[in-house]
Structures are given as C-alpha cells and as structure tokens.
Structure 1
Amino acid sequence: MQIKLIQLQKHGDERGALVALEENKNIPFPIKRVYYLFGTQQGVRRGFHAHKQLKQVAIVMRGYCRFHLDDGKEKIELLLDNPAQGLLIEPLVWHEMYDFSEDCVLMVLADDYYCESDYLRKHEEFINIVNGETK
C-alpha cells in the first residue's frame, strides 16, 4: 500500500504560523465536507470503516493520533502529529484512528457530502470487495 502524506506549506514568523488549504491545489480534490474530532477519550478507537468512493485528507490540528490503514493486502500503522502534513485516505482503505492525545483535534476534508451507502462498515465485506468477491 502506498501511503501519501501531503506536505502543507507553512508560513509564519515570530507571530505564529499559517497553513492554507486549497482544493485542487494542496488538497487533491474539491472539498465538499469538513469535520473534526476532539475530546476523544484515551483507549477509544474510531473509524472502523472504508469508503467505496470518498477521498479524504486527515490533518491533526493539535496533539497526535495513530492510524491503522488496511487496503486488504497490507496493514500500516502511522502516527499523525504534524499540523503541516495531511494524510490522504483513498477509497477502499479501511481506517481506524486510536491513541489520541488528550488535546488531539483531528480535522478531515472530504471530496463529497455524507452518504451512508458509501460506507463499508463490516471488515469482512470490505475484504470481499477489495478481493473482487461478491456474496
């Protein structure tokens, strides 16, 4: 599995830092939805799904969290802890987030609106789809 971390250009001086997010420039798709997670309790895992078509970029705005990524052939664990770096999550990648720092704020940019039918919430169904098997 090829993981793509997007380096976001950070601008700043002694007053602080700024990162601009622009669709079809440093974010490789049109942005239709933005959401963020915060206040996640220690020991809690989030996610547990893949998308059929949705593309996302996850950016940790504060703190850190870990990602478990699975494309059906390979599994990767990744620490996200840099607000000037985004993790591109392509369609058909099972993802789980865990080990949230107490101050973690995780923002996600998506290329489409929420659509429940795009979610694969059962890992077995996800594996069947990525392996070309249908029930």
Structure 2
Amino acid sequence: MNIELIDIPKIGNVLGNIGVIENGTMPFEMKRVYYLYDIPSSAKRGGHAHKSLVQVLIAISGSFDVLLNDDVSERKVTLNKPNVGLLINNNIWRELENFSSGAVCLVIASAVYDEEDYIRDYDDYLNHIKTIRTL
C-alpha cells in the first residue's frame, strides 16, 4: 500500500518539544493546511479518496484510527503521536474513526481544495482504480 509513517522534525526542550513543519519537511510542496477538532468519538470522517492529492495526517492531540484501502489490501493505522505523520498517496480510500476526547487531526495537503479531485462513493472508487490499472 502506498502509505508511509514519517517523522516530524522536533526541537527538544526540557520545557516542552516543538514540532517543525516547513518547506522541505514534507515529501511534497504544501498547498493547504487544515485541521479537524471537536469530533465526537462515534463520528467517522473521511470516506473518500483523492485522484491526485497527497496528504499527511498528524494527531496533534489525542488519537484516532485511519482505515486505508487500495482495493488490494486494507490497513489500520493508529495515530497518537504529534511527531509522526501518515503520508497517504493518491488513489487510496481513507476513513477516520475512534477519535479520543480532545483529538485534533492536522492535515497537510499537496493541493488546494478541488472537489473534482475527490471520489466520495466507494463503488466509484473501485471503478476508478480498475480504470487506472488498465491504462
């Protein structure tokens, strides 16, 4: 599966650590940053794939699970450390669930928002994957 856990550079200090995200620390040029917060523990987020967008998800606070599917395999990754990011490349279905109280999910994206890049229906996703595999 085309995902990877990446270390977020940090500056250690006895008074607390500083996580550093700047140009050159991500495996792509950052174009958009947003975050999810105040998420009920029973909520499920995501439920889509991107045709070309690449993202890094970071649990800035608390924890949550990321369910990933590329039509060949499935994987669950628990994010719970603010110095570890999950790189999700394009054409991977993702769902986020099991949010702890106070969880904050930071998302760093390779492009600005474009609704045309989203695949929001799982059957459409499967058809898209089959199409790109035959090209």
Q: Partner residue of 1:44?
A: 43
Pairwise mapping of residues 63-78 of structure 1 onto structure 2 (< 5 A)? 63-78=62-77
**How far 1:2 moved relative to its partner?**
4.1
Native 8 Å contact 2:2 2:89 kept in 1: no
Displaced runs of 4 or more, over 3 A = none
Q: Describe the shift of the 1:2–1:53 C-alpha distance in structure 2 as closer, same or farther (beyond 3 A).
A: closer
Pairwise mapping of residues 10-49 of structure 1 onto structure 2 (< 5 A)? 10-23=10-23, 25-49=24-48
Aligned residues: 133
TM-score by length of 2: 0.94
Amino acid at match of 2:11: H
1:3 and 1:128 map into 2 onto residues whose CA distance is 21
Native 8 Å contact 1:37 1:107 kept in 2: yes
Q: Partner residue of 1:8?
A: 8
Q: Partner residue of 1:114?
A: 113
Percent of pairs with identical residues: 37
Native 8 Å contact 1:6 1:26 kept in 2: no
**Secondary structure of 1:132 counterpart:** helix
**How far 1:49 moved relative to its partner?**
0.2
Q: RMSD value over aligned CA atoms?
A: 1.4
Amino acid at match of 2:16: G
For structure 2, list consecutive stretches of 5 or more residues without a partner in the other structure: none
**Secondary structure of 1:113 counterpart:** coil
For structure 1, list consecutive stretches of 5 or more residues without a partner in the other structure: none
